[in-house]
Amino acid sequence: MAANSRLTIAAHALAWLELARRRGRTTLTSDEVAASVNTNAVIVRRSLTDLHRAGLVTARRGNGAGFALGRPAAEITLLDVWLAVSPEPLLALHRTEPNLECPVGRGIRPVLTDLYDEATQAFQASLARTSVADILERMPT
């Protein structure tokens, strides 16, 4: 699969929003974010619309409008962002139902489901340890 870069784009946008805020600009347009991420403004709006649905940013339309952080950057974790933009699970079960006449075909799915959940939770717990503010602190200014 084309590994998706939505978390990267969303995290980049949020970091840029926070840096702009510290410099006195509370809102940025999708064009301004797209210029930093180096992609199309529609791609940015798609990501930021996801974040908007999750309450991580606010969006105002109209002349002079744009996007702003929905809450302090220290209170937005990478997990929040990942959950907002990543609809797909990390690991998928069989695409077609396995053969139920085989003991493995009958029994393996609930086991793998549990194991995949555990691995996904470990992954998520790691993402939850870092906030957007932390990302800015780790960047050279």
The residues that touch DNA, with contacts defined as CB under 7 A, are 1-2, 4-6, 9, 29-31, 39-43, 45-46, 48-49, 52, 59-67, 87-88, 92, 95-96
Q: Closest approach of Cβ 96 to DNA, in Å? A: 5
61 or 138: whose CB is closer to DNA?
61
Residue 8 touching its own copies (CB under 8 A): yes
In degrees rounded to 5, what are phi and psi of residue 40?
-80, 145
Q: Closest approach of Cβ 140 to DNA, in Å? A: 25
From the list its own copies, DNA, none, pick the one residue 24 interacts with, judged by a Cβ distance below 5 to 8 Å according to partner type: none
Q: Do the beta carbons of residue 123 and residue 85 sit within 8 Å?
A: no
87 or 103: whose CB is closer to DNA?
87
Positions in the binding site for its own copies (CB under 8 A): 1-5, 7-9, 11-12, 15-16, 19, 35-39, 78, 88-99, 102-108, 111-112, 114-115, 118-123, 125-127, 130, 135, 138-141
